[in-house]
């Protein structure tokens, strides 16, 4: 399996295998990384690449000392199933109305 890279120009983390690329798209917002969407091409489905990609992204976020806002349902579900990443989730601000 190839390494996950941060394509800052496209604002996405990428994992390429067999000439196909899975990715997690993101945006920076108020010092946090908003994880918008996870995409795994059909040719790569069922190989655990989505989970491997998300794990690598969250490990990189931890390394950068950042927090995430998981807008992507797949990533939110991954974090629920892997509580060791819950500390990376930005808490909603109480002063928002």
Q: Can you give the residue ranges of every domain in the chain?
A: 5-88
Task: Give the model's pLDDT for residue 95.
Answer: 44
- In this prediction, residue 93 has a pLDDT band, given cuts at 50, 70 and 90, of low
How does DSSP assign the chain, residue by residue?
A: -PPPEEETTTTEEEEEETTEEEEEEEEEETTEEEEEEEE--GGGTTSSHHHHHHHHHHHHHHHTT--EEE-SHHHHHHHHH-GGGGGGBPPPPTT--
Res 1: pLDDT: 39
Whole-model pTM: value is 0.89
Per-residue model confidence as pLDDT tens digits over 4-45: 999 999 999 999 998 999 999 999 998 899 999 999 999 889
Q: Which CATH superfamily is domain 5-88 in?
A: Gcn5-related N-acetyltransferase (GNAT) (3.40.630.30)
């Amino acid at each position: 399996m190839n390494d996950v890279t941060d394509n800052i120009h496209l604002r996405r983390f990428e994992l390429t295998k067999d000439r196909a690329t899975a990715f997690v798209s993101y945006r920076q917002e108020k010092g946090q990384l908003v994880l918008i969407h996870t995409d795994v091409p059909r040719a790569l489905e069922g190989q655990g690449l989505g989970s491997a990609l998300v794990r690598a992204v969250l490990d990189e976020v931890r390394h950068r000392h950042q927090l995430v806002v998981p807008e992507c349902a797949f990533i939110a579900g991954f974090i629920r199933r892997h509580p060791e990443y819950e500390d990376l989730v930005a808490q909603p601000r109480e002063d928002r109305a």
